Structure 1
Amino acid sequence: MPRRRIDSSLAWMPARVYIQRDKYVYQPKSGGKITLCKISEGKLACIKRYEQVVESMDDRKLFKRVIDLFFASDAFKRLSVRTRKDYEVYRPVIVSAFGKMRPNAIQPHHVRLFMDKLAKSKGTVAKPANATANRHKALMQKICSWAYERGKIKINPCVGVVKLHEQSRSRYITDKEYEAIYDAAVPSCRVAMEISYLCMARISDVVNLKMNNILDEGIYIEQGKTGKKQIKLWSERLRKAVDDAKALPCKPGMFTMFLFNKPDGSRYAVRAIQAQYKKACVLAGVEGVTLHDLKSKAISDFEGTLQEKQDAAGHSNSAMTQKYDRKIKHVRSVK
């Protein structure tokens, strides 16, 4: 319910309508200002114009419509499966923050305010969730870039808004720690660890492996995030990991298409393996590590040049490979 006007003579004015100089101005919640008419035109003209403006401001005029169009576009469909899934998670947050605003009313300072608030709400005062805020901003910028190129907005409000600082992970899992976690893990987690480490693969790509991914040359893996296609050549250790995967318990007469399957033949969920891994870390007494750190360990342990590491990891650029390479370097001292 709108607040009462201090000046009772202005009680007739609709909500969010104000007098500015010689005009009646409407300030919608979506942002901006809309001039209704001059004061000299009278109350009826003001109310009539107000009703026309409110009626015209339906969802088709708001940023939510732009968001919906982007998610229905070919540009969105061309993104990798992993990226589309992530964007679907971020989408409600973007809609909640900007959906009811008029597209051209969104300014860079609104985006900055959104990022700052999101980082604080998803994290703590001491450790804000800057990475989360940056991921949401990346989606917002993607939407606005798409809309700007198609004339749906006049500016991209995300341009010039600097990302929040992210602290890069530097935790390296030593061989001794890996062995301790492996020994404490259940069979399904052991298989996931080995294939993830040996193939430098995300756990999401491991659980999606099917029997037809097993080739004479090695394991065919298409990365869900980047779409990179690779065949990981056989090694003695990798063959054993695949044999262990095939030996995972399955109900009698049950057929499965997945290499890495549950007893009922269905594939394991990523969260299930993450929970198994976390429990194994506790039992092994290893702290501060995540399942994704196995990929970093693999890239760090891989013997070769930076370019060779990049090719093996399937990264699109060397900068990303360098972030994953966490082993402390041994360099010659000055002679």
Structure 2
Amino acid sequence: MRYSAWIGYLTGLRRQDVLNITLFDCKDIGIRVKEGKTGKKALILWSPELKRVIAKATKARKSEADTRLFQISSSGYDSAWRRAMDNLDERFQFKDLRAKHAADFEEQGGKLGHSSRGVTTRHYLRRERKITPIR
């Protein structure tokens, strides 16, 4: 559970796209994905943190025959997520990780692959605006 959440935060991918990552998607240059919602292809370049999390997730796999990084169904994942959230003081949804990624990435001038920065701002940026009074 924690590895999928970290990958979701680090990459900005949607939950189902994270669950669909296979070992074959992990290349020397990065992770190749085809986003389920849009059908767009993306290459997520390796960072030291992403490489570390993927390595740990790979070691935690149960079956060698199944090439998925996370060997769990969507409904099984949802159940596990609910159980994990029951143990936390502050609950959140997987989509909140995408919003957090967008906010952090936007500060560096990036966008989530949307056609414009406005789409990212409208849907994902939840930080308050900073307003300087004119007097």
Name the TM-score class by shorter chain: 0.7 to 0.9
Out of 284, 288, 300, the residue aligned to residue 103 of structure 2 is 300
Match of 1:209 in 2: 21
Match of 2:33 in 1: 221
Question: For the residues of structure 1 that align with 2:134 and 2:124, how far apart are their CA atoms?
Answer: 28
Match of 1:156 in 2: none
Determine if the alignment matches structure 1 residue 318 to structure 2 residue 122. Answer: no
Shift in Å at residue 318 of structure 1? 3.3
Match of 2:93 in 1: 290
Shift in Å at residue 331 of structure 1? 4.5
Q: How does 1:94-109 map to 2 (within 5 A)?
A: none
Q: Greater helix share, 1 or 2?
A: 1
* Counterpart code for 1:255: A
Contact 1:196 1:203 in 2 (8 A): yes
Question: For the residues of structure 2 that align with 1:196 and 1:249, how far apart are their CA atoms?
Answer: 18
Q: 1:227 to 1:249 in 2, by over 3 A?
A: closer
Question: For the residues of structure 1 that align with 2:133 and 2:68, how far apart are their CA atoms?
Answer: 51
Report the identity percentage: 29
Question: For the residues of structure 2 that align with 1:219 and 1:286, how far apart are their CA atoms?
Answer: 31
Match of 1:192 in 2: 4
Out of 45, 49, 70, the residue aligned to residue 260 of structure 1 is 70
Question: For the residues of structure 2 that align with 1:234 and 1:330, how far apart are their CA atoms?
Answer: 33
Secondary structure in structure 1 of the residue aligned to 2:94: coil
Match of 1:328 in 2: 128
Q: 1:304 to 1:255 in 2, by over 3 A?
A: same
* Number of residue pairs the alignment of both structures matches: 133
**Is there any run of 5+ residues in structure 2 with no aligned partner, and where?**
none
The two structures, once aligned, show a CA RMSD in angstroms of 1.9
Question: For the residues of structure 2 that align with 1:244 and 1:331, how far apart are their CA atoms?
Answer: 43
* Counterpart code for 2:66: T
Segments ≥4 residues shifted beyond 4 Å: none
Q: 1:249 to 1:229 in 2, by over 3 A?
A: closer
Out of 73, 83, 87, the residue aligned to residue 279 of structure 1 is 83
Match of 1:234 in 2: 46
Contact 1:197 1:294 in 2 (8 A): yes
Contact 1:192 1:273 in 2 (8 A): no
Larger Rg: 1
Shift in Å at residue 329 of structure 1? 3.4
Question: Which fold has the larger relative contact order, with Cα–Cα distance below 8 Å and residues 6 or more apart in sequence?
Answer: 2
Contact 2:21 2:70 in 1 (8 A): yes
**Is there any run of 5+ residues in structure 1 with no aligned partner, and where?**
1-188, 262-267
Question: For the residues of structure 1 that align with 2:39 and 2:86, how far apart are their CA atoms?
Answer: 34
1:296-326, Cα deviation, whole Å (9 max, x unpaired):
1110111323xx21xxx12234333111111
Shift in Å at residue 201 of structure 1? 0.3
* Counterpart code for 1:275: S
Contact 2:61 2:70 in 1 (8 A): no
Contact 2:61 2:69 in 1 (8 A): no
Q: How does 1:9-20 map to 2 (within 5 A)?
A: none
* Counterpart code for 2:95: H
Question: For the residues of structure 2 that align with 1:260 and 1:274, how far apart are their CA atoms?
Answer: 13
Question: For the residues of structure 2 that align with 1:270 and 1:334, how far apart are their CA atoms?
Answer: 51
